[in-house]
């Protein structure tokens, strides 16, 4: 097993707040709440939050996030100061991208090691009473030294209205239908879907998860057609 990445210092509480004018923001891509920026000499990611998020809610989350430190769990660089509009969170930027992008460029990497590191990060979150709530490959990042780094945990109450459409295939049926809130159990389902994709599926198979497959689960209460990724996952999980 490769060595764990070195930990970077956490910001002090006094340094938690970041002024918008300290960020050199790049032009945003359409239909996204994420933008890249330069801050204190490094490239970072700025995530705009939902309009109904209050300053008090963001500050409470920010101070809570300062207490969590694990090699496979992302840390924040800071949050928007109280005068910012819209509110935002600043996180590190990793050149290697997310796990799907990394595997596309490095198909021979040890995939089980990546799954193991993801499991370690999720175990840490759950042991500390946190629910990720929106786990999917786009927020399983790979650090510059090839280690897993789980991002956007405990953020589903703060999310911008825009959503990655591919995230739905990683949701448990009860979360997709809205009958149960996000929970550690739904996190386990999402993790299992991610692990199955990383270890067994061709990376492009996620694109096959169409709206019709989602409707099968949420509205018609039936399994998706044979051959769809969701159907394959259900069959795989049901094997002895």
Write the DSSP assignment of 171-190 as a string of letters.
Answer: S-HHHHHTSS---HHHHHHH
Which of 16-30, 33-47, 90-104, 170-184 is the most confident on average? 90-104
pLDDT value of residue 44: 94
> Is the pLDDT assigned to residue 83 strictly greater than 80?
no
SS3 3: coil
Q: How buried is 174 (Cβ within 10 angstroms: 0-12 exposed, 13-18 middle, 19+ buried)?
A: middle
pLDDT tens, position by position, 22-70: 999 888 765 567 889 999 999 999 988 888 888 888 888 888 888 889 9
pLDDT value of residue 183: 92
Q: How buried is 112 (Cβ within 10 angstroms: 0-12 exposed, 13-18 middle, 19+ buried)?
A: exposed
Q: How far, in Å, are 29, 112, 179, 186, 232 from residue 200 at the CA level?
A: 32, 11, 30, 21, 10
CA distance 213 to 211: 5
CA distance 101 to 94: 11
Q: How far, in Å, are 121, 187, 212, 214 from residue 150 at the CA level?
A: 7, 12, 29, 25
Mean pLDDT of 102-115: 94
pLDDT value of residue 5: 42
Structural domains of the chain in order of their starting residue, each with its CATH number: 13-92 (3.30.200.20), 99-237 (1.10.510.10)
pLDDT value of residue 85: 82
Cβ proximity of 16 and 63 under 8 Å? yes
CA distance 179 to 219: 12
pLDDT value of residue 161: 45
> Is the pLDDT assigned to residue 10 strictly greater than 70?
no
pLDDT value of residue 162: 44
pLDDT value of residue 4: 38
> Is the pLDDT assigned to residue 202 strictly greater than 60?
no
Query: What's the half-sphere exposure (Cβ side, CA atoms, 13 Å) at 65?
Result: 25
* Angle, CA of 26, 103 and 139, to the nearest 5°: 50
Greatest alpha-carbon pair distance for the chain in Å reads 57
Cβ proximity of 138 and 100 under 8 Å? yes
The model carries a pTM of 0.78
pLDDT value of residue 155: 79
């Amino acid at each position: 097993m490769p060595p764990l990445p070195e930990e970077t210092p956490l910001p002090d509480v006094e340094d938690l707040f970041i002024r918008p004018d300290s960020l050199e923001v790049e032009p945003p891509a359409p239909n996204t709440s994420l933008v890249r920026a330069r801050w204190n000499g490094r490239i970072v990611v700025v995530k705009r939050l939902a309009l109904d998020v209050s300053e008090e809610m963001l500050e409470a989350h920010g101070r809570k996030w300062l207490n969590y430190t694990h090699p496979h769990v992302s840390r924040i660089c800071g949050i928007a100061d109280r005068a910012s509009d819209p509110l935002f969170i600043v996180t590190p930027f990793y050149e290697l991208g997310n796990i799907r992008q990394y595997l596309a460029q490095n198909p021979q990497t040890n995939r089980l090691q990546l799954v193991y590191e993801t499991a370690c990060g999720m175990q840490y979150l759950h042991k500390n009473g946190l629910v990720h709530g929106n786990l999917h490959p786009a927020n399983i990042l790979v650090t510059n030294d090839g280690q897993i780094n789980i991002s956007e945990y405990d953020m589903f109450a703060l999310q911008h209205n825009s959503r990655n459409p591919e995230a739905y295939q990683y949701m448990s049926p009860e979360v997709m239908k809205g009958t149960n809130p996000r929970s550690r159990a739904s996190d386990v389902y999402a993790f299992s879907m991610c692990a199955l994709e990383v270890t067994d599926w061709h990376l492009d198979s996620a694109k096959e998860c169409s709206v019709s497959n989602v409707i099968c689960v949420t509205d018609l209460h039936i399994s998706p057609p044979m051959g769809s990724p969701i159907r394959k996952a259900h069959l795989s999980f049901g094997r002895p």
